[in-house]
Amino acid sequence: MAGITLSELRDKIDAVDRELLELISARARYAQQVAEVKTEAGATDFYRPEREAQVLRAIMARNPGPLGDEEVARLFREIMSACLALEKPITVAYLGPEGTFTQEAALKHFGHSAVTEPMAAIDEVFREVSAGAASYGVVPVENSTEGVVNHTLDSFIDSSLKICGEVELRIHHNFLIGPNTDPAKITRVYSHPQSLAQCRKWLDAHYPKIERVPVSSNAEAAKMVRGEWNSAAIAGDMAVQRYGLTKLREKIEDRPDNATRFLVIGRDLVPPSGDDKTSIIVSVKNEPGALYNILEPLRAHNVDMTRLETRPSAAGKWTYLFFIDFKGHHGDPRVVAALEALKPRVSDLKLLGSYPRAVL
């Protein structure tokens, strides 16, 4: 850049940094005032999923570059997280242990100022949120390669919790070893069964003879190899940092578009954000035309279905539950009409919640 020296450019950056600091501090003070107003009004819920989604969408829409939209949104996500912590720190339960993709999803959605608490099982995440010990929970629901997480779907059946957000996370797997392992003497690899399946072709090509040992989570696999001499783990970047492992190879997943969708669960329904999804469970008997009876009201009222899963019902033999996601908020007129038309056609209908579509 002609006509300007490196020293002058650094002075300009320093000036911008000072201005940024003043503006961030001003935003934080406004957040404190918001907390005071809410407290005076008797409010107890300081986190508003629909409001945060609206802010992030607006930031991305106004972004002039050169930073990409998602990069800018992630920066603002962290600023909003820190400001919210001034109002009231959010406690988020997630499927642990530390270093899992679910923890990564929780931090992606709530920011690093949230307090994340690992749980040993998905149903424990539900119990923690139901009891009020955690403000929200994050659980996996489906993977683009391996499909649905049935434990999560089953946990919704008898729970009063609502879905109040979703997170989409690109899944990258690494081949990791601990400080005591000789890369030439690896005899086994630990990982979650889904991760072993997602890296099957890579393992066949590079380590066809080593034992593949399924464990409860990738983070557990990373923890195990930390102290072993001839083993490896397949896990993500958070596990690398948390357990001090070395990457022998990164991004070893067979499909580069491998992604997992996570749900954020809470105790209350979420107001509309302007770009929402709704999830429901319906119960039907196994009879001719049952699936058509479910789908026809959605088609008739122009409701766009995005996912359909079925599970056997514990209510009786040959009775089935359908988990359905579709675009729109449960308060939208066309969604209201579709659900009203659907109710007489099914044994039971349960609204799991309406929530902002994933922004990041």
Taking only the tens place, the pLDDT of each residue in 205-223 is 999 999 999 998 899 999 9
Q: Domain check: are 263 and 142 in the same one?
A: yes
Domains in the chain, number = 3
Q: Domain check: are 67 and 194 in the same one?
A: no
What mean pLDDT value characterizes the chain? 93
Q: Domain check: are 203 and 93 in the same one?
A: no
Domain boundary pick from 242, 268, 294? 268
User: In the block, which residue shows the tokens 């999830």?
Assistant: 279
Q: Domain check: are 264 and 127 in the same one?
A: yes
pTM, full prediction = 0.89
Q: Domain check: are 295 and 347 in the same one?
A: yes
Domain boundary pick from 198, 233, 268? 268
Task: Answer whether 115's CB lies under 8 Å from 91's CB.
Answer: yes
Q: What is the pLDDT of residue 196?
A: 95
User: Which residues on neighbouring strands pair with residue 94, listed in sequence order?
Assistant: 118, 138
Task: Answer whether 137's CB lies under 8 Å from 242's CB.
Answer: no
Q: Is the pLDDT confidence value at 175 over 80?
A: yes
Q: Domain check: are 146 and 218 in the same one?
A: no
**CATH for 305:** 3.30.70.260
Task: Answer whether 190's CB lies under 8 Å from 69's CB.
Answer: no
Q: Report the SS3 class of residue 14.
A: helix
Residue 360 counted as domain residue:
no
Q: What is the pLDDT of residue 317?
A: 61
Q: Domain check: are 293 and 181 in the same one?
A: no
Domain span at residue 58 reads 45-170+258-268
Q: In the sheet where 188-191 sits, what is the strand order?
A: 211-214, 188-191, 231-235, 174-177, 246-250
Q: Domain check: are 61 and 163 in the same one?
A: yes
